[in-house]
């Protein structure tokens, strides 16, 4: 299992670097990986990670995240993953929310603040896997 995670991480990071810069990824090192199990009413407060890159993948989601308490005029953020950077400005909301789906996988720089809103729906589990990694441990990636 660990070997497959390492291959997946390496492949996705290599492809991203290839598309966005002239750098080539030579190696990566997973510092830590873990599973997060959450049930109705539980959330993950805003935080950041260590290393160079972090990620979260969704393995299991409840059949319902519950109704919003704001009513029909507001979007329902229950169970959403939220990323935050900077402050709101004319062309930037500084916050980006995603409604996770099973098999979705998000990777992001370790410094990016993020959290997960609580869900209030069915008495079921939300399960995700997360990791922290260092890219090219022997060479600077910046």
In a domain, 141, yes or no: no
Question: How many domains are contained in the chain?
Answer: 1
* Residue 24 confidence class, pLDDT cut points 50, 70, 90: confident
pLDDT digits (tens, 9 = 90+) for 64-109: 988 877 665 567 889 999 999 988 888 888 999 999 999 999 989 9
Residue 140 inside a domain? The answer is no
Note the pLDDT of residue 138.
61
3-state DSSP of the chain: CHHHHHHHHHHHHHHHHHHHCCCCCCCEEEEEEEEEEEECCCCEEEECCCCCEEEEEEEECCCCCCCCCCCCCCCCCCCCEEEECCCCECCECCEEEECCCCCCEEEEECCCEEEECCCCCCCCEEEEEEEEEEECCCCCCC
Check which CATH number belongs to the domain holding 27 and give it.
2.60.120.620
Q: pTM (2 decimals)?
A: 0.81
- % of the chain surpassing 70 pLDDT: 87
* Structural domain range at position 78: 2-135
Residue 63 lies in a domain: yes
Where is average pLDDT lowest: 1-5, 29-33, 42-46, 58-62? Answer: 1-5
Q: Is residue 76 part of a domain?
A: yes
């Amino acid at each position: 299992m660990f070997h497959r995670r390492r291959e997946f991480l390496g492949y996705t990071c290599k492809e991203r670097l290839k598309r966005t810069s002239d750098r080539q990824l030579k190696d990566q090192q997973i510092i830590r990986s873990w599973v997060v199990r959450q049930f109705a009413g539980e959330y993950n407060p805003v935080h950041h990670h260590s290393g160079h890159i972090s990620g979260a993948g969704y393995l299991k989601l409840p059949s319902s995240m519950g109704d919003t308490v704001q009513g029909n005029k507001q979007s329902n953020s229950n169970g959403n993953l939220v990323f935050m950077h900077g402050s709101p400005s004319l062309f930037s909301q500084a916050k980006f929310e995603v409604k996770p789906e099973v098999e979705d996988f998000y990777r992001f720089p370790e410094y990016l603040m993020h959290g997960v809103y609580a869900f209030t729906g069915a008495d079921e589990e939300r399960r995700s896997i997360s990791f922290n990694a260092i890219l090219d441990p022997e060479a600077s990636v910046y």
